[in-house]
Copies of this chain bind each other. A is one copy, B any other.
Amino acid sequence: MHAFSDDDHFRDECGVFGISDHAEAANQTYLGLYAQQHRGQESAGIVTTDGHSFNSHRGMGLVADVFQKSDIKQLQGTAAIGHVRYSTSGESGLRNCQPFSFEYAHGGIAMCHNGNIVNAPELRKELEQDGSIFQSTSDTEVLIHLVAKSKQTHMRDRVAEAVNRLTGGFSLLVLVEKRMVGVRDRNGIRPLVLGKLNNSWVLASETCAFDLVGAEYVRDVKAGEMVIIENGKVESLFPFDSTAPKFCVFEYVYFARPDSTLEGVNVYDARYKIGVELGKESPVEADLIIPVPDSGVPPAMGYAEATGITFQLGLIRNHYIGRTFIEPQQSIRNFGVKLKLNANRHMIEGKRVVLVDDSIVRGTTSRKIVEMVRAAGAKEVHMRISSPPTKHSCFYGVDTPNAEELMANQMNLDEMCKAINADSLAFVSFDGMYRAVGKPQSSHCDACFSGNYPVDIDPARSPQLSLLRFYSRRP
């Protein structure tokens, strides 16, 4: 949960929510999406079913803007799935809004997922050769084709057959007339949690969604597991030929909301403890620890605990950040960062400051923040990062720049320190990070830091897969 939306940070990915057997399925899903808004701010959608017909509403924008009371009312039915995502704008944006809903030989089907299907291009090519047509660039459309083409008699088998052909990192929700299905890829890279709200089962990307609707957390869906919710019961299947848990460690560092607990680890707690480890590993003589809001706050507090240095909120966030701002022609130094953050000169002047942030992507924002803190009178500025250096792109659902645009991919530590104009720079070690998380590295994906990709990827491929020849405008 990070305030920045500029190009120098990871963009959020996606969030899903589903609920069965609830008289107000759409309204609960709306709230479940709202609580997960930090996972995707550019589009939102809900599909409901009453067991016979389906209703759908999708749109560009925040959950609270996309859905009006009349929309929720129209979304009748007792089961629903919903989705938030980041997205390109325009008609193509709307085309790619999830959940997707189609009709096929066995009735209606709606799907949405969080993550990325790595072999979608190959599958798509194969489907096209067989006469399939595609309207979007979404992996989900590929998956629905696979389900529709399956000759299996039972829906669960059709879905199982289809997902078993997929490689990548994805958590998937499927809704048909009488069932809801949740699937996590064989490595469980992306999160998916199961909860209970009275007689209803709920599925979500993060537990914070359960808190808002008042659902009780039951368990995390397992890597490679497929849960089928039908007639008030949950059935569990493992359709993949093999499974090997590799949970995305970056969910702890940056993505997830601090009040969520994923795979048994509280996110706030993990972040705080990473700060403690970082303080032990890379202390520095200084007067003041200042976090870069918001995800830098818990590690900065942990760093303060470990080092005994005073912790203060010296960078104040502006809470009213809009999409666009008009800059004077006679431009303002560090304009983009100053719109979002202001350094409290009164506090900083004459001090040796330690800044704690969650990551460095391209490095441009870090440099501006260091400059802003220096301009507010800091004598020294030391940067501490609560994750290892980000050297590689993610191919499993996180929107990262190409590797060559990542500062840590192109520079060593000294070069980076110099480039961001800090007096010192340190990242937490892999060991420190996993000590803080309290789990072994072997059960996580940390490819963005280590380059160890649990799912084979074509090295020539860009992480931004752009398949479609259609470029469209907002309707």
Contact = CB atoms under 8 A, between A and B. Distances in A.
Given A469-B103, A472-B56, A297 B325 contact: no
Interface in A286-328: 294, 297-298, 301, 311-313, 316, 318-328
A24 interface: yes
A172 B153 CA distance: 37
Interface residues of A toward B: which range? 35 or more
A111 B316 CA distance: 30
Given A269-B346, A328-B28, A132 B108 contact: no
A342 B208 contact: yes
A464 interface: no
Q: How many of these chains are in the complex?
A: 4
B27 A328 contact: yes
A266 interface: yes
A52 interface: yes
A148 interface: yes
Given A145-B133, A259-B342, A344-B258, A475 B475 contact: yes
A343 interface: yes
A449 interface: no
A214 B339 CA distance: 12
Interface stretch (A58-66, A181-189, A438-446): A58-66
B135 A135 contact: yes
A475 B60 contact: yes
B3 A107 contact: no
A468 B103 contact: yes
Contacts of A320: 34, 37-38, 41, 62-64
Interface SS of A by simple majority: mixed
A257 B316 contact: yes
Interface string A37-58: 1100100000000001111111
A269 B347 contact: yes
Contacts of A269: 346-347
A255 to B, nearest CB: 14
Contact of A64 (B74, B132, B324, B467): B324
The CB with the most chain B CB atoms within 10 A, among A41, A74, A103, is that of A103
Interface string A118-158: 00000000001101111100000000110011100000000
Interface string A194-213: 00000000000000100111
A347 B266 contact: yes
A94 interface: yes
Contact of A71 (B41, B75, B97, B473): B473
Given A62-B320, A108-B470, A132-B132, 19 more contacts: A3-B319, A41-B320, A55-B471, A55-B473, A56-B473, A58-B475, A64-B325, A94-B475, A102-B133, A103-B128, A104-B134, A131-B132, A131-B148, A211-B343, A212-B332, A259-B345, A266-B344, A269-B346, A272-B312
24 contacts: A23-B330, A24-B329, A27-B328, A34-B320, A34-B339, A35-B342, A38-B319, A52-B469, A53-B471, A56-B471, A58-B91, A72-B326, A94-B94, A102-B134, A102-B135, A131-B132, A132-B132, A211-B342, A257-B316, A258-B313, A266-B347, A268-B347, A269-B347, A301-B313
